[in-house]
Amino acid sequence: MNILVINCGSSSLKFLIVSIEPETTGDDREVCLARGIIERIGGVSLLTFQREGKPVFRHAGTIANHEAAVRRVIEWVDSANPTLVHGGMSGISAVGHRVVHGGERFTRPTIIDESVTFAIDSLEYIAPLHNPPSLAGIHATRAVLGPSVPMVAVFDTGFHATLPERASRYALPYELSLKHGIRRYGFHGISYQYLLSRYCNLTKTPLEKMALVAFHLGNGCSAVAVKGGVSIDTSMGFTPLEGLVMGTRSGDIDPSIFSFLAREEGLSAEEVEEMLNKRSGLQGLSGQGRDMRDLLERERYDPRVHLAVEIFCYRAKKYLGAYLAALGGAEAILFSGGIGEKSPEVRTRICEGMEWCGVLIDPLRNKELIGQEGEISSEKSRVRVFVIPTDEELIIARETAACIMQAAVVSSLPSTARSVHQ
């Protein structure tokens, strides 16, 4: 089964083509055929494609929108036939799409039909930065491939459906929360699924015995507490705005600041929300952008940039302590995402001062692991610390294959049995 994965950002499209044999086990069950990314959609775009065992291909060109980006990916797949996918796009069994917010309705991967696209669209108001690009990718793929190729939506929020009410409920009038579906949903769930899978493989730890804290630190940032292999608390909430300081998002703030800024600055609710999502975080604090690599260079001589980095790391450290308390201790801490994978300095700052709970980083190991998988904790550390580069696209491919296989099994059942499974 050949699965095409489409992961759309606001101005980017990542893709993966993987061959999966659902009925087999072991390392040869999955073969990555190709992956790539199209950046800066809407202008002069950069295309980066990588085929298994082949040199990286890069090309600059104008790509106007997500539909054009999808068409470019499909053209590339067809041009690589038959060495890539036998039959080109006709050899693609299904397409998996990352969707950030599934609301209360979608807690597991779902085959996409008209009602599903409508529901995803209806959730734009609580994920305005994320759901529209996903929907654009879905519409673009359908326009290019037609209705015959099944598509599956895999939701970031699904992983956190296990949150207990004490962690998911806000202290609002209970009836209002129920009426409007106001709760903490959590995000980066697909990334966390991959991290747990890799951690299990690396340490041979059964999911049911797992107790750890994981960080996904990139332009968007979050933390999760995992116990027994499931999410029991996470930093992002009703929307991806809550929690840690991020590239352009504020993270936690006093809710009264919202109305204060609206009143004092003469801003609408939409304008305040835009500021908190797109002009705050590292960018707003530093005034020098949101790229952590640049900020770490600048902080040596710019006090404002130094403050931004300090706040970023301090906020993460607070969540680490909180989640260690919620778990009653943890066996491991995992770092992932662009910053988590590539910034030894940030990892050090988050973990320093945590010796009291058994967290000790080996400076040399930490410095050496940039964008690579491995353990960075000291031999004396009671809590193991790992860097694990994430692979959301691979999880989406796995979930898509499983969803298609399950649908095939259900459709083959008698109608009476089918209703039980649906």
- Which residues are catalytically annotated? 156
DSSP 8-class letter at 383: B
Tell me the three state secondary structure of residue 392.
helix
Residues 170, 85: Cα–Cα separation, whole Å: 48
Structure tokens at 86: 């036998």
Determine how many CB atoms are found less than 10 A away from the CB of residue 362.
17
Amino acid letter, residue 2: N
H helices, E strands: number in the chain: 16, 14
Q: Are 215 and 235 in contact (CB under 8 A)?
A: no
Q: Where would I find the H helices in 124-234?
A: 131-145, 165-168, 174-180, 189-203
How many Cα atoms within 13 Å fall on the side-chain side of residue 184? 24
Residue 46 and residue 38: Cα distance in Å, rounded? 6
- Neighbouring CB atoms inside 10 A of 171's CB total 6
The set of long-range contacts for 266-273, using a CB threshold of 8 Å and a minimum separation of 24, is: 273/128
Residue whose structure tokens are 């031999």: 379
Strands (E), 290-380: 332-336, 374-375
Give the whole-angstrom CA distance, residue 285 versus residue 309: 9
Between CA 15 and CA 29 the distance in angstroms is: 19
